[in-house]
Amino acid sequence: MTMQINGMPIPGPTDVVVFHIGGDGSIGPVEALFEAVPDNLTIVVFEIRDDVQPVVVKRASYSDKQFRIKVNRAIDERSGVKDFHITTLPMSSSLFKPSPMAINEDAGYYHCKTWSENCTIEKTISVKASSIADVIAELSLPPPDVISIDAQGAELGILKGCGPYLDRALAVVSEVEFSEIYHRQPLFDEQMALLSPRGLRLVNLFNSQVWHPTSRMPGNGFLTVAEAVFVKYFHAFGPEEERPVRGYADMRATSTAELVKACIIAIGFRLISYAAKIAGFLKAERNDYQAYLKDVVPLQMAFMAAESLAEHKHRIDSDLDFFLKLMKIPESPNLRFGVPDTSVKQWAETKKRFADKEAEEEASTTRAATADSKM
């Protein structure tokens, strides 16, 4: 059970600490954990606010066993004073300026037609920023097991600023871009190059966005934005097996408590087969897992998955959701593979906009001609 000392929660050995950098609203794929495993989480949310109390600790709404810590601080690669650009849509505000290459592109948003309309800079302010490593030391925060970032282009720098805490992370959820939407921002391949050598394996890209260089038309656009989920991939190698260069962590060199947390995260992200793999290893090679089994429901579910896999393997081909239904794990609206494709609707709206403009120009010409005839 999580206890409090001087108002700050102290996580237990199998409590999963989630850091989310990017505001205290809807926070994307990491909320899938809140839905599936709410009793095993401590949540730390960072938001750029320096006019209020620096740290607020309260019980979270998902479970009475869960804490939510709100830290009002900008996060970047290094600590210091930084320029922060506030845009037309506040949630697109960034430490980066919008990219000139992308300002006329159509992201398919309903509230605007171009990226420029969405992120015109209205003002630039100076903010006090800290790296994750520095703010943990300053505020005595519990170190993160899951790092979630939606920071409008600053994700790579924030990850680098985690220092040794990135090496111990069991999962990373990060907004990624495949082409610049902010000027000179790092892209997906750079995040992948940072995370893969640390044993973090890509699960999937969620909430993906396809952008068009002009107003959206029928046909393909460019995959531009998504939210990537990476999970520490534990594997137990045999003594004679050759190991890959990257993309794994040594299961036998990992404590049982850490593997239990990995099970919790796997269940939370609906990685049922991976949870079953970890449970199978624990049953075969560790006896101390039983100390956690009674109180950690996701670990029980991982063992149920392993047993069900052996018993019902034939069901996989005919019913892909079988294990989710069997274990009563709800599907998550936060793990969508793409935003709704609005290309047909956008095309219809564009044609109507052109028709309305032509009709207005024709009416204006008619009014002008009528006025001239009366003179």
Task: Note the helical H segments in the chain.
Answer: 31-36, 115-119, 132-139, 155-160, 164-167, 188-195, 256-268, 272-285, 290-293, 297-312, 322-326, 343-373
Copy the structure tokens of residue 264. 């919790």
- Tally the C-alpha atoms within 13 A of residue 139's C-alpha that lie toward its C-beta: 25
- What is the reported pLDDT for 308? 77
Angle at alpha carbon of residue 138, lines to 5 and 196, rounded to 5°: 105
Length reported for the chain: 375
Residue corresponding to tokens 């495993």: 37
- What is the reported pLDDT for 77? 96
Angle at alpha carbon of residue 56, lines to 89 and 17, rounded to 5°: 90
> Got the DSSP string for 207-254?
EEEEEBSSS--SS--EEEEEEEEEEE-EE---TTPPPPSSS-EEGGGS
Using CB atoms within 10 A of its CB, is residue 324 exposed (0-12), middle (13-18) or buried (19+)?
Answer: middle
Phi (first) and psi of residue 297, to 5 degrees: -60, -45
Q: Considering only CA atoms, which of 249, 235, 311 is closest in space to residue 277? A: 235
Tens of pLDDT along the chain (375 residues)?
466 666 788 888 999 999 999 877 778 899 999 888 888 899 999 988 765 677 888 877 777 778 888 999 999 999 999 999 999 988 899 999 999 999 999 988 878 889 999 999 999 999 999 999 999 999 999 999 999 999 999 999 999 999 999 999 999 999 999 999 999 999 999 999 999 999 999 999 999 999 999 988 888 899 999 999 999 999 999 888 899 989 999 999 999 999 999 999 999 999 999 999 999 999 999 999 999 999 898 999 999 888 877 776 666 666 667 777 777 777 788 888 876 555 445 555 655 666 777 788 788 777 777 766 666
Cα–Cα distance for residue pair 147/161, rounded to 1 Å: 12
- What is the reported pLDDT for 147? 98
Q: pTM of the full predicted structure?
A: 0.87
- What is the reported pLDDT for 344? 47
Copy the structure tokens of residue 96. 């980066």
- What is the reported pLDDT for 136? 94
Q: Which residues pair with 202 in a beta bridge?
A: 230
Cα–Cα distance for residue pair 246/236, rounded to 1 Å: 14
- What is the reported pLDDT for 262? 97
Mode of pairing for the β-strands spanning 8-10 and 234-235: unpaired
Cα 282 to Cα 287, 296, 312: the distances in Å are: 7, 14, 21
Give the CA radius of gyration of the chain: 25
- What is the reported pLDDT for 141? 92
